[in-house]
Amino acid sequence: MLRESSTAVVARNETWTGASATEPYEAGWATEAVIFVRALKPAKGAMPQAFVEISPDGMRWIREGASLTLPSAADELAVARFQHFGNWLRLATELPDGAECTVLVTLHLK
Amino acid sequence: MSATSSDDLRRALLGADPRLSRFDPLPRIISHDDFDRGHCGWSQLIGNYEGDLDSMLPGYQPLTNPMLSTLAHWEGGSHGGMDGSYVLKLATRPQRDTATVGIKRLTFRKAGPIRLEFYMTFKPEATSLALSEQDVKSVGFLLDLQSGDKSGSPERVMPHLRYLNAKDGVLQQKWQFKRGAPRIHDIGDGVDTVSHFHLEDDGWEDLPGGDQRLCYNEIPTKVNWHYVCLDFDLETMKATGFRCNDRAFDVSAFDSIRMPAMKNLWCMLNLAFFTETAADKRAFFYIDSVCLSGDF
């Protein structure tokens, strides 16, 4: 049987300011993940790091270890790869005052 | 083999297959989605757009991606599916009155009777140690259909049914439907693309005799599966039957959202599930499994 593989769009055209995160996504069937962040518009201000987070229940979160710097220019990409994540996944960040980015975040699982 | 014995043999084969014996399919099984085999074509609903994603109607912006879930809970672990480990899960955002949708896009081979059967359950996110019975607003499903291109009187027809569980903190526990003509919006320059959002809270009507109390269970993390079945005739574009668990409902008053046929949707047969939250917490709608069948 072919290995299961799936792409999930976990943030589409969302404008992030302050504390921001993708919606929780369950991926317990997968053993590896790649997450891309694409800037859909030029960002405002300095872009911080965003952190892959995992959770025992989809409600309480802890950093997994993988991270990326949010992209600044329109259509610029950032990526992180990780595995051994259990079930729940999200990408979380905190933008400084005045900073803003509009993102497309895609999760690629297999 | 006579027609009768052929039918008996078919029924015996269905009855001997534990994956299908829980369904009553029409003669042709068009799809049988067991989410232990992946997403089975159920994907995120995207609003129409042109130029950039800002042109999408606001109702489509918060929709989220369906996922495969083992229905895991913080204190009880994985609940699992009706059969096997995985189920399809739709999750709203944690903002009151937001919705989400999962959709499967097909076309039909014959404009005749179809039957959509599925097993479902729903719960709010277990963010509080309370019953939370009024926190899921609704779970529902719809078909998005259009006649074939040689039909004499083509139209686009969208039968909707939702189980309105609660509203404004009060249990409602009844089935509702939507009918009438939607307001169509131009997208971009309006030459190629139009859109309408059909899941607003306006326009829902009670299905006569459609009150039904389901098994919610006693805490937010215990779930029970429910059987749902809709019969629809693609030739007359009318519902012919609707059942949930032990109840069969009169659909003589049921009608659908209807509009003139669109230029690029011929023979469309889309299936969609949706849920809405009544509180500032996520509503979860779980489906395992789905059987679509037709009489052809």
Indicate whether B133 belongs to any domain: yes
| Range of the structural domain that residue B173 is part of | 25-294
Q: For B78-118, what is the HEC assignment? A: ECCCCCCCCEEEEECCCCCCCEEEEEEEEECCCCCEEEEEE
All domains in chain A, ordered by first residue: 6-109 (2.60.120.260)
Does residue B16 fall inside a structural domain? Answer: no
Peptide bond between residue B289 and the one before it cis (omega within 30 degrees of 0): yes
What's the CA gap between A9 and B256, in Å, rounded? 31
Mutate to test the interface with A, among B55, B64, B89, B101 (most CBs of A within 10 A): B64
* Beta-bridge mates of residue B27: none
Tokens 């913080």 sit on residue: B74
Q: How far apart are CA B49 and CA B46, in angstroms?
A: 9
Task: Tell me what pLDDT residue B1 has.
Answer: 54
CA distance A18 to chain B (A): 18
Convert the pLDDT of each residue in B229-269 to its tens digit.
999 999 999 999 999 999 999 999 999 999 999 999 999 99
| Single-letter code of the amino acid located at A60 | R
pLDDT digit string, tens, across residues B179-223: 999 889 999 887 889 999 999 999 999 999 999 999 999 999 999
Coil/strand/helix, residue B54: helix
Please judge whether B72 and A28 are an interchain contact, meaning their C-beta atoms are less than 8 angstroms apart. yes
Q: Six-digit token pair at A89?
A: 């996944």
Residues of chain B neighbouring A10 (CB-CB closer than 8 A): 64-65
∠ at Cα B239 (B233, B244), nearest 5°? Answer: 120
How many structural domains does chain B have? 1
Q: Closest-CA residue in chain A for B76? A: A57
Is B281 domain-assigned?
A: yes
What span, in angstroms and rounded, lies between the C-alpha atoms of B157 and B79?
37
The CATH code of the domain that includes B82 is 2.60.120.260
Q: What is the pLDDT of residues A88-110, one digit of tens each?
A: 999 999 999 999 999 999 999 99
Residue type, B205: E
Task: Give A88 to chain B, closest Cα distance, Å.
Answer: 10
How does pLDDT run across B130-170, given as a tens digit for each residue?
999 999 999 999 999 999 999 999 999 999 999 999 999 99
Spatial distance between the Cα atoms of A2 and A77, rounded to a whole number of angstroms? 29
Q: How many CB atoms within 10 Å of residue B142?
A: 24
